[in-house]
Amino acid sequence: MSRWIVVSNRLPFSYDKKKKTIVQSSGGLVTAIKGIKTKNEVVWLGTADEELKKLNINNLSKEKMTKYVPIYLSKELYNSYYNDFSNDVLWPALHYEMDRVRYIEEHYNNYKTVNEIFAKKIASICKKGDVIWIHDYHLFLCPRYLKKLVGEKVKVGFFLHVPFPSSEIYRQLTPRRDILSSIVCSDVIGFHDFSYLRHFSRTVYDILGFTTKQMSIKTDVGTTKLGVYPVSIPSKNIEVKSQSKGVEKETQRLFPLKENNRHSLILGVDRLDYTKGIPQKLLSFEKFLADNPSYVGKVQLIQIAVPTRVDVQEYQELRSIVERKVGEVNGKFGKVNYTPVKYINKSISLNELLALYRKADVLLVSSLRDGMNLVCLEYVMAQDNASPGVVLLSEFAGAKATLSHAISINPHNILGTSKKIKTAIEMSKKEKLERIKVMKDYLLGYDSSHWAEDFMKTLSTQKKNKIIDAVDIKNKKNCNNLNKLFKKKKNTIFLDFDGTLAPIVSNPESAKASPGVMNVLKKLSRCSDLIIVSGRPEAFLKKKLAGINCDMAFEHGALYYDKSQRKVRNLISTSKVKWYSQALKIIESYKNRTPNSFIEKKNYSIAWHFRNSPSDYGEFQARNMVADLRGCFQGLPVSVILGKKVVEIKASEANKGRFIEWYLDRNSSSEINVFAAGDDRTDEDMFDVLQDSGVTLKIGRDDKTKAHYYLENQHDIEKILIELFL
């Protein structure tokens, strides 16, 4: 059974210098990982305090992790990598706070150094078959460094615990290309929410130009799987712990008054961070009290603000803003026996927290951006079914997609949130029970172990598309070897038209093969099974290949001309009604806005050519069009491809690779050699199908091709075909 090597910025404990003891860490990532139960041997790798060097850290914890592997960094290096780059650049950028980004090249260089240290440490302990799970934005560069060291020896997964912003935001980041190029080296990339995945896919396409589909990205090293794996918590453990004697003791201490004599409680539990929306929460509570004076003296907000980065001025200013606002609300609405906002600026024990969860009538999460937010999940599992509470949850938290029966709020809408507070306070017990039950049942059925197992199962079974380093077919030795191969058996030859048999020209209607190539095709059609596979429509290809007795596949294999029967066969089973006319309208809009571009309409596809348009603007419009078409027709049986100066939307079944599979199923035998040549993105589908069962040739030099051979200049195709087959 393969080992799980979990990699995170820190190991889940630190050294308390004052008490000279080990302190277990908290936080969403630690909670999630520590809640995993698996039969696989687990190794957890991360940084640790220098003071732990002299101790055997594997004896420090009773957790079921098999082994901890520490990385020790100097304080200066760690501070630069963690505080000055991860937290001062990546954290605000990923949370839509670009004004807070403080980029300094030196810190990015240290970030790179630390990521490389991590990669080397992983490489030194990993064995063939291990599954590596890298966590979060601190280690964005680790996948690429690691893959360079270990290749395909191990599977590498990356999980992002924070939001991934829209392309417009991310593109402002200075090392944007470096980071994306590394992340996509992973075999599987996981996100909490589909919106993060969607943003990531679009950003990769905009910056790296990699073809993206809904759940995968085709990169220069194969296909990277994308997935949505909303993190969870050790649900049953939280439920059982919340009913323990220790929690009951804390409950009696914190709430000595009888139920009918205490305030209704609204609870907020957040790190004191600008992404958590604590000032907005206080404004909404202030508005609630102002608009509902009958609740003054009866409803209290308990806000726990766990200190973070206390030595950073920005966070010191945030603390001042929050404390000033707490003072204003308490001064405005407070009474001798009533404090509207009880503010706690420190961490509290788990028993205290669970006691607050059980007694709070409302949990208010007002995050402006939040990767997931596990507090609301813990709150749900801690609820007493005899008196359950209500979750008010920011629509900008990833947990909104998980907790279906939480009440959604927009923390920027102060009035709207104040009204939702009133709704929650006045909600009937019956409705509260119904809402909590649905969410509890979900969390019991999908806890942190299920989260980990889902991700790791995907990672363990993910296969990289094999990328072959194409070699020059003009090399004399290569040509001679292939010539000997093709003379031994009968040959089946698949050839593309534009860019392969005919050069690319500014007016597609003018494209034609040279007399020499036409003569070669005539000879090949007599001694081999020759099939011209093109994206062109029937009328065009028949006209251009007049006099050549060969089979033809039009529109990427949507239609097949059988020379023996002299008729065209339709190979498409799906209808184009749901997409064709609407796609044409979108493409026409782009055509009207892009000088010198034009549309080519076919039976099962529409091609938009921009080869004569201003180069940069044409490429820009093409990428926007691809994103629009994919977004509009997601879930329908169509594919959208960006080729050489052309964007094409076509029926998914119109695929050159699929056509070759169909053809060979009916005509292939062990006595046949198969050869295919093409120049475009659509021809890669042919190369993919024939990787292990044929010889493939890419026209043009392309490091990303799956072809076995390349021919640098299209004008040499006549000579190569003669040398190989005649």
Q: What is the residue-wise DSSP string for 112-165?
A: HHHHHHHHHHHHHH--TT-EEEEESGGGTTHHHHHHHHHTTSSEEEEE--S---
Q: Is residue 392 within 8 Å of residue 451, measured between CB atoms?
A: no
pLDDT of residue 64: 53
Residue intervals of the chain classified under CATH 3.30.70.1020 are 580-651
pLDDT of residue 468: 58
Architecture of domain 235-445: 3-Layer(aba) Sandwich (3.40)
Contacts of residue 11, Cβ cutoff 8 Å, sequence gap at least 6: 25, 44, 45, 46, 47, 48, 57, 68, 70
pLDDT of residue 259: 57
Catalytic: 138?
no
pLDDT of residue 182: 96
pLDDT of residue 60: 57
Task: Assign 266 to helix, strand or coil.
Answer: strand
Q: Is residue 183 within 8 Å of residue 177, measured between CB atoms?
A: no
- Apex CA 663: angle with CA 661 and CA 668, to 5°? 90
Could you tell me where the beta strands, DSSP code E, fall in 610-645? 638-642
Rounded Cα–Cα distance for residues 156 and 154 (Å): 6
Q: Is residue 287 within 8 Å of residue 418, measured between CB atoms?
A: yes
Cα dist from 550 to 148, 472, 562, 660, 669, whole Å: 46, 28, 8, 15, 19
For 332-381, write each residue's pLDDT tens digit: 999 999 999 999 999 999 999 999 999 999 999 999 999 999 999 999 99
As to burial, measured by CB atoms within 10 angstroms (0-12 exposed, 13-18 middle, 19+ buried), residue 350 is middle
Say which of 95, 107, 135, 161 is annotated catalytic: 161
Residue 467 has which token pair?
Answer: 């990328």
Task: Assign 315 to helix, strand or coil.
Answer: helix
Handedness of CA 99, 100, 105, 110 (dihedral sign): negative
Domain 580-651 has CATH 3.40.50.300: no
- Apex CA 479: angle with CA 473 and CA 483, to 5°? 135
Rounded Cα–Cα distance for residues 666 and 668 (Å): 6
pLDDT of residue 120: 97
Pairing state of beta strands 264-271 and 362-365?
Answer: parallel
Residue 689 has which token pair?
Answer: 């199908």
Rounded Cα–Cα distance for residues 80 and 548 (Å): 68
Say which of 136, 193, 270, 370 is annotated catalytic: 370
Rounded Cα–Cα distance for residues 340 and 338 (Å): 6
Residue 292 has which token pair?
Answer: 């509902």
How crowded is the C-beta side of 575, counted as CA atoms within 13 Å?
Answer: 3
As to burial, measured by CB atoms within 10 angstroms (0-12 exposed, 13-18 middle, 19+ buried), residue 477 is exposed
Pairing state of beta strands 709-711 and 471-472?
Answer: parallel
pLDDT means per 10 residues, the chain with 726 residues, are 90 77 72 76 91 72 70 96 97 97 97 98 94 97 95 92 96 96 95 93 88 77 88 93 96 78 89 97 98 97 95 94 97 95 95 96 97 96 94 96 93 98 97 95 91 90 66 88 87 96 91 96 94 95 95 96 94 93 95 92 94 85 90 90 91 94 84 92 92 92 84 94 92
Amino acid identity for residue 140 in this structure: F
- Apex CA 423: angle with CA 278 and CA 329, to 5°? 40
Task: Assign 27 to helix, strand or coil.
Answer: coil
pLDDT of residue 50: 84
CATH superfamily of 471-573+654-725: HAD superfamily/HAD-like (3.40.50.1000)
pLDDT of residue 23: 75
Q: Which helix (H) or strand (E) holds 493?
A: strand 490-495
Handedness of CA 548, 554, 559, 560 (dihedral sign): positive
Q: Which residue has the tokens 């609405």?
A: 333
pLDDT of residue 16: 74
Handedness of CA 106, 111, 117, 123 (dihedral sign): negative
What is the number of residues in the chain?
A: 726
CATH class of 4-228: alpha beta
User: Across the strands, what pairs with 285?
Assistant: none
Q: Is residue 43 within 8 Å of residue 131, measured between CB atoms?
A: no
Rounded Cα–Cα distance for residues 552 and 314 (Å): 67
DSSP 524: H
Nearest to 323 by CA among 279, 287, 289: 279
Rounded Cα–Cα distance for residues 483 and 74 (Å): 61
Catalytic: 161?
yes
Residue intervals of the chain classified under CATH 3.40.50.1000 are 471-573+654-725
Q: What is the dihedral of CA 495, 501, 502, 504, to 10 degrees?
A: 60
Rounded Cα–Cα distance for residues 77 and 436 (Å): 46
How many Cβ atoms from other residues are within 10 Å of residue 215's Cβ?
Answer: 12
Residue intervals of the chain classified under CATH 3.40.50.2000 are 4-228, 235-445
Q: Is residue 146 within 8 Å of residue 130, measured between CB atoms?
A: no
Nearest to 154 by CA among 186, 183, 184: 186
